[in-house]
Amino acid sequence: MQTLNPQILLELINSTMPFGKYKGTPYYKLPVSYLEWFLRKGGFPQGKVGMLLSTIYEIKLNGLEFLLENIKEQQK
């Protein structure tokens, strides 16, 4: 089983979508429908962007957004 790097969670909060309809939107705020669109169109892109998109998709799919909200609150 692969463990999640905590730095990835910080990137999901502090980094934004670099292209497309939601360009400039923080990854953690992307709607599930947009993430599902990627899957219907052949999957997430290669590289870091794809990894972040697939990670946030899994987080949302499993109802774990509260983890990101807790981290975001701690950053204030």
In this prediction the pTM is 0.89
Furthest-apart CA pair in the chain: how many Å? 37
Q: Give pLDDT, residue 44.
A: 96
What is the distance between the alpha carbons of residues 56 and 27, in angstroms, rounded to a whole number?
Answer: 7
Name the CA dihedral angle for 29, 69, 50, 20, rounded to a multiple of 10 degrees.
Answer: 10
Per-residue pLDDT of the chain (76 residues; tens, 9 = 90+): 466 688 999 999 999 999 999 999 999 999 999 999 999 999 999 999 999 999 999 999 999 999 898 888 888 7
